[in-house]
Amino acid sequence: MVRKILLLLTFLTYLNTFSQTQGVGINEKVPEQTLHLGSQTGTVRVDGLNSTNNSYNGGEADKTYPLFVDENGDMTLQTSAYNNSDGNDAYLSTDPINSQLSIIPIVQANDGYESVEITSYTFTVSRNTVLEIKYSLSIEVFRNNLLQIIQDPYARNITNFFTLDAATLTSTTRRYAAHSKCYFNFNNPATKGSGAIDPSKPNLALPNASTGYIYNSGTSYIYLTPGTHTLRFYGTVCSGTNNRATFVRFAGGPDAIFLRLH
């Protein structure tokens, strides 16, 4: 009798060890992972992720929400970002990341094409990863550094973009998340004056111009290898072969930046 009991305990111990080694199967007799769901139509429900218990779940029946895993291996709906302005102005002079912008860059394009580095981000990654970039940057276009309006009818092209690990900007440098706007005023010399009131031509109207903010917005995904990387954010302006003097003020309005490592 004692021998039978010992044999039974040994067999149960073997089964328990086998189960722990092979994992747990649901509708699966031979689990191939620690937890193996064998049903081809089954789903997984976690009450802690539903709209009642999780503030990051919007609760709309026709929408889904991305699931992330944190450093502990816990599943979560909450996302984190390397940089996220989240409704605040991304390029304030009081922001320590952008302290070099205490004087807002102004680019002069009287030789056809000029560029300026607006800000940079340096970070170190320990694994292969993908960097997600989203930005929205304000632009103002003027005739000179006195912020006077443009009075000619020529177009200007303003572009913003990022570079990766490039100390200088060259014609072969890859440009990420590039986006451009074309600024244009129509001022007919026959009907528009130079800006000064001419008593001899009372019917000659002053030149008109668009004022205020326009925006460049871009999105890109960049593959990163382990190591330290530097993103540099540039603004460029081109006034064409006519070399019309142009001054562009970047980041003068409300701006946004979002950087996330996947």
How far is C-alpha 36 from the geometric centre of its chain's CA atoms? 37
Banded model confidence at residue 218, pLDDT cuts 50, 70, 90: very high
Which helix (H) or strand (E) segment is 84 a member of?
Answer: strand 83-84
Of 76, 102, 135, the position where a domain reaches its end is 76
Are residue 63 and residue 186 in the same domain, yes or no? no
Give me the phi and psi of 96, to 5 degrees please: -65, -25
pTM to 2 decimals?
Answer: 0.68
Percentage of residues in the chain with pLDDT exceeding 70? 73
Q: What is the pLDDT of residue 223?
A: 92
Please report where in the chains the tokens 């070399």 appear, as a residue. 243
Are residue 59 and residue 90 in the same domain, yes or no? no
Give me the phi and psi of 102, to 5 degrees please: -60, -30
CATH number at residue 241: 2.60.120
Q: What is the pLDDT of residue 153?
A: 75
Of 30, 61, 76, the position where a domain reaches its end is 76
Of 76, 93, 112, the position where a domain reaches its end is 76
Q: What is the pLDDT of residue 17?
A: 52
User: Tens of pLDDT along 163-174?
Assistant: 999 988 888 899
- What is the average pLDDT across 213-238? 92
Are residue 68 and residue 106 in the same domain, yes or no? no
- What is the average pLDDT across 146-153? 78
Are residue 62 and residue 91 in the same domain, yes or no? no
Are residue 115 and residue 87 in the same domain, yes or no? yes
CA–CA distance, 74 with 51 (Å, rounded to integer): 18
User: Both tokens of residue 130?
Assistant: 């993908």
User: Tens of pLDDT along 59-86?
Assistant: 887 888 888 888 788 888 877 777 777 7
The residue ranges of DSSP E strands in the chain, in sequence order, are 24-26, 35-37, 68-69, 75-76, 83-84, 106-108, 113-125, 129-142, 156-164, 176-183, 214-224, 227-238, 247-250, 256-261
Are residue 127 and residue 162 in the same domain, yes or no? yes
Are residue 70 and residue 87 in the same domain, yes or no? no
Q: Which residues contact 30 (CB under 8 A, 6 or more apart)?
A: 22
Q: Which residues contact 66 (CB under 8 A, 6 or more apart)?
A: 77, 79
Are residue 164 and residue 205 in the same domain, yes or no? yes
Are residue 65 and residue 90 in the same domain, yes or no? no
For residue 231, pLDDT over 90 is answered with yes
CA–CA distance, 232 with 123 (Å, rounded to integer): 12
Candidates 208, 215, 158; CA nearest to 185 is 208
Q: Is 120 helix (H, G, I), strand (E, B) or coil?
A: strand
Please report where in the chains the tokens 């007919």 appear, as a residue. 188
| Total structural domains within the chain | 2
Banded model confidence at residue 40, pLDDT cuts 50, 70, 90: confident
Q: What is the mean pLDDT of the chain?
A: 77
User: Tens of pLDDT along 115-132?
Assistant: 888 888 998 988 899 999
Are residue 65 and residue 122 in the same domain, yes or no? no
Q: What is the pLDDT of residue 59?
A: 81
- What is the average pLDDT across 41-55? 84
CA–CA distance, 262 with 256 (Å, rounded to integer): 20
Are residue 100 and residue 158 in the same domain, yes or no? yes
Residue 57 domain boundaries: 2-76
Are residue 49 and residue 136 in the same domain, yes or no? no
